[in-house]
Structure 1
């Protein structure tokens, strides 16, 4: 087993020691869009303008103490690794990227029509894609994914989602790269994700169940935590889903109950996203990568969360997740 101090994490600008990650936001995005829709319909994308904006927003976070951002934009959300690398070369923040296919239901036809039992036959292209992103680099670059991303939402564990979950679990075991998820908290979908991961032999301490902070259901949080997973309280600033005051109280209560060593914090923010009309984004106010530092951490301190616990959630827990033990 490699000593934690010797482990490294792949970023858009190369390998960094896990001990050099610093305060880390574990669930963010830079650019979320459908390139085909953008070309044919939406038509508001300006590459240079958006890159400049991303650099400014990330550097603002750096000025407020953030040192690393995990960008969980994968296939299905418009991942463009060259674009993210361009931002990474200009910002002071270290950018970690992910691999995966984001779907709530069906996988892309290219995937479903290839592999054992499909129209074209041949090997499993889905697992091969994920492994290539991790071991060789994404889209012909030398930028390697350091995280596996998968989603489960209102449709539940459809055949396509189940295939994605199981393939993710298998590639995780072959590579050691941690799993981070999107999970509908109101439907407690994180539990279904853990059930499948567990059936595939996954060490659940190497999984982060995302978007748990959308719910005040502490029983849901504790069920996930008591099974060994990390819980992502990762949508601070999305006040239309749950006010920040409620989100902060969930963090404070879980810390009071002794779970600070299994919690990670983030915003699920972005610089550009097709999910938001400009007016909608405007109503969210100053929701950016510095929001936790500026607004949430002072609120947590007032709620009784100690600096040691904040450091645990922002520094040591990300180190533990990203500085994994390797395949098993």
Structure 2
């Protein structure tokens, strides 16, 4: 048993319960929001809406979410703490930087590079129980690689696990292995390869799982360029191959995202919400060969062990 830092304080890992390993609360463009607050609207209303949606998630039986909202995604811990005070869920926040290309300008000319120390200080201050970076289709650009190595250093110093936004279509998980594991010494068992379920290439996913990674089947409902059935069937196939012990589940959903107008989001992505797994995905996969014990493994056992390793 280990202690896991949540936004309300540490909890024992065996108290996490059913856990969604990749859910945002708010995804925002910070400079836009700071300078054009009318887009955001009423703060109290936004917080109340988040509380309502997260309570509905709690009612499905989920007891913990990991919120990997970091710099580049509008991270605002005081706002998240305000939400957390009103919901019974454990919320594990992350620290790190989200970029596919260049670093934020703040980091361009600073020497020595302050990133790793910032992440370490954030963890030690009790602000984060997860580290987060990203590598998408552009691959390991100089900025992306600097963040990945800083995250690896922060992991070595703190022991806090890592989630990496990946692009399985271009197999960026192998860059994670080279940079963070082979060169920086991170155990792949301490890394969730986020968005692994964006591909139906079960052979590729099996190879990553065999390399020791945890696979994030974590975009259920975000069916752009794919379908509900493709995501669900890939999960069934991976469980059939024996990888329930190497996967975690989630939606990558949020209460509010300013990247897309709310009405357009609702029309284009009607299943992209916090209860889609319990409302539709789990019943479908149970009807197609997955057992409840295997669901519990992915929702409870794997997240607990991930934080305990």
Q: TM-score, normalised by structure 1?
A: 0.90
Question: Secondary structure of 1:97's match?
Answer: strand
Instruction: Tell me the distance in 1 between the aligned counterparts of 2:39 and 2:32.
Output: 10
Please say if 1:89 is aligned against 2:85: yes
1:130 aligns with 2:98: no
Q: CA deviation at 1:195?
A: 1.3
Deviations 1:154-189 (A, max 9, x none): 221000101111111111111111110111121111
Report whether the alignment pairs 1:165 with 2:148: yes
**SS in structure 2 of the partner of residue 90 of structure 1:** coil
| Aligned-partner Cα distance in 2 for 1:219–1:115 | 42
Within 2, Cα distance between the matches of 1:19 and 1:104?
A: 35
Unaligned runs of 5+ in 1: 117-123, 138-143
| CA–CA distance in structure 2, aligned partners of residues 215 and 50 of structure 1 | 33
Determine if contact 1:214/1:247 at 8 Å carries over to the other structure. yes
1:9 Cα deviation after fit? 0.7
Output aligned runs, 1:176-255, within 5 Å: 176-198=159-181, 199-255=183-239
Partner of 1:57: 53
What is the deviation of 1:38?
Answer: 2.3
Q: Distance in 2 between matches of 1:113 and 1:107?
A: 11
Q: What's the CA shift string for 1:236-293, capped at 9, x where partnerless? A: 0012232111111111111111110000000000111122222321121242211111
Partner residue of 1:258 out of 242, 259, 272: 242
- Cα deviation, 1:36-74, whole Å, max 9, x if unaligned, reads 212445732121111111111111011111110100000
Q: CA RMSD in A?
A: 1.3
CA distance in 2, matches of 1:323, 1:276: 37
Task: Give the Cα separation in 2 of the matches to 1:167 and 1:91.
Answer: 33
Worse overlay, 191-200 or 93-102: 191-200
Task: Work out the CA distance in 1 between the residues paired with 2:90 and 2:190.
Answer: 21
Give the total of aligned pairs: 306
Structure 1 residues 88 and 301: alpha-carbon distance in aligned structure 2, compared to 1, 3 A threshold? same
